[in-house]
Structure 1
Amino acid sequence: MGLLNDRVVLVSGGTQGVGAGVARAAAREGATVTVTGRRREPGEKLVAALRESGAEALFVATDVADVAQAQASVATTVKAFGRVDALVNAAGLTSRGTLVDTSPELFDEHIAINLRAPFFLMQAAVRDMLRRGAPGGIVNVISSSELGGQPYLAPYVAAKAGLAGLTRNAAHAHRFDRIRINGLDIGWTDTEGEDAIQRRFHDADDGWREEAGRRLPMGKLGQVDEIADFVVFLLSDRSGVVTGSVIDWDQNVFGGLD
């Protein structure tokens, strides 16, 4: 449909999972795409595939926990393609910790990746949009856990709740600049990273996805391609004037009780 024709889209954490899905979906809809991440091999492989499909694409090796590297990825995109029209903050850390066993170091890691990085990536992207007097779009991939979450996700919840508040604050601040900023509170999603987490922290075996799906209302985990299509919709003009929304993208109804 060409929903993102002639747009330059930067996807942080785009080498796997939801980020990679967004990169593929954006390219399919006509966007020029910058993918960032710490792992060079999967990043370059993804970009090569995007180019083979006919899209313009660039991989920038980036550790978003380093503010200088995060903001440099925006500068590199502007240098390569002239601008940044849209930003998707998909990089994330989901390591476990409770209120009573989380160390200051683990807490700081979550803040650095799940909150500080999106803040300064948004800052750099919005500065480029303001410099050009141009509209833009930002989508922050948050988590339904920001509404409370599991006990073993305490530092993650703290950071993601902050990101939800930041999303609304930035959207309010820049609504008259026509920069639309929204977030997705995604639920349990089938990604490579989630598979690793389930095996590392929950002793999961090869059948964990099927077992989890049997316990969920829709009979399956959230799917990357479905989330990616929704992100593209939010970045596109088809989503109209929507800004400052943090949307529950989950199969559980928060506040509902049985």
Structure 2
Amino acid sequence: MGPLPATGPLPSPGPLPSPGPLPAAGLLTDKVVLVNGGSQGVGAAIARAAVREGAVVALTGRRPGPGEALVTELAAAGGEALFVRADLADAEQAKAAVARTVEAYGRVDCLVNSAGLTTRGTLLDTTPELFDQHIAINLKAPFFAMQAAVADMVGRGAPGTVVNIITSSAHGGQPFLAPYVAAKAGLVGLTRNAAHAHRHDRVRVNGLNIGWTATEGEDATQRAFHGAGDDWREQAAARLPMGKLGQPDEIADFVVFLLSERSGVVTGSVIDWDQNVLGGLD
């Protein structure tokens, strides 16, 4: 047999397709799930996925408009949800959101901390005020929400799960994300500390270091800080290995798995949910 004919360069495979939401499997049937930052973006996708999987969901946000609209949407789909207005920069409001969920539904089985602040600042230009804002939203709020939710789980002698939405930038990040990285790296350590502290209580705590994701908040950030135009998503996707930005519904399916018993005994894991490989070099 002779040599194969030259075929030239292989064609680009194109972007990896988005499968859309997975079919319901009842992974969270009868669970009470609190999603902080659940009125838009990744948090809203998680709320939708949790309801689809049989959970009752409480979701927090600062603005009642988007939160109430999502509750109405979930009710129309046959689910049950509650909007809790909360400014998570205030630790007392973060704790009160847990108390309101317990008041409404009797308990919290699962907590997701998905609220985040991504305003820009470098080491040289970040003010103490900006730094404090990042600590308040990205670290302090998850700390005290976890404190209240885990106290409910431990007080009932019941197992529970927590998932913290972190960021791949927690490994170092871009220079213009200095206060964000500082706070989110702290959340990585907190996730592991809480998981270790409460493993004998059967409370599992895990985190996701998510990569660049297509959300309403990211759209606003790109326009406000980077002068992005209407086609910024397409331009960004073309530069990424899989040919697309991360999708909120895909993250949501992964979070539901971690919240559910299907993820087994996994705790203290901070998973890089990204298409770039830490330490990989070209």
2:123 maps to 1:123: no
Counterpart for residue 182 of structure 1: 206
Q: The residue matched to 1:97 in structure 2 has which SS?
A: coil
Counterpart for residue 95 of structure 2: 71
Give the number of equivalent residue pairs. Answer: 258
Gaps of 5+ in 1: none
The aligned amino acid for 1:245 is S
Deviation at 1:10, TM superposition (A): 0.1
CA deviation digits over 1:186-243, x for unaligned, max 9?
Answer: 0000000000000000000010000000100000000000000000000001111100
RMSD: 0.4
Q: The residue matched to 2:26 in structure 1 has which SS?
A: coil
The aligned amino acid for 1:243 is T
Counterpart for residue 164 of structure 1: 188
Runs of 4+ in structure 1 deviating by more than 4 angstroms, as ranges, are: none
| Distance (Å, rounded) in 2 between the aligned partners of 1:50 and 1:123 | 28
| Distance (Å, rounded) in 2 between the aligned partners of 1:53 and 1:216 | 34
| Distance (Å, rounded) in 2 between the aligned partners of 1:85 and 1:252 | 33
2:48 maps to 1:24: yes
For residues 125-164 of structure 1, the aligned pairs below 5 Å read 125-164=149-188
Counterpart for residue 111 of structure 1: 135
Deviation at 1:52, TM superposition (A): 1.3
Q: The residue matched to 1:233 in structure 2 has which SS?
A: helix
Question: Which entry has the higher C-alpha Rg, 1 or 2?
Answer: 2
For residues 1-258 of structure 1, the aligned pairs below 5 Å read 1-258=25-282
TM-score (norm 1): 1.00
| Distance (Å, rounded) in 1 between the aligned partners of 2:91 and 2:281 | 41
CA deviation digits over 1:31-68, x for unaligned, max 9?
Answer: 00001000100000001111111111100000011111
| Distance (Å, rounded) in 2 between the aligned partners of 1:68 and 1:160 | 20
Deviation at 1:177, TM superposition (A): 0.5
| Distance (Å, rounded) in 1 between the aligned partners of 2:122 and 2:103 | 42
The aligned amino acid for 1:232 is V
TM-score (norm 2): 0.91
User: What is the percent sequence identity of the aligned residues?
Assistant: 75
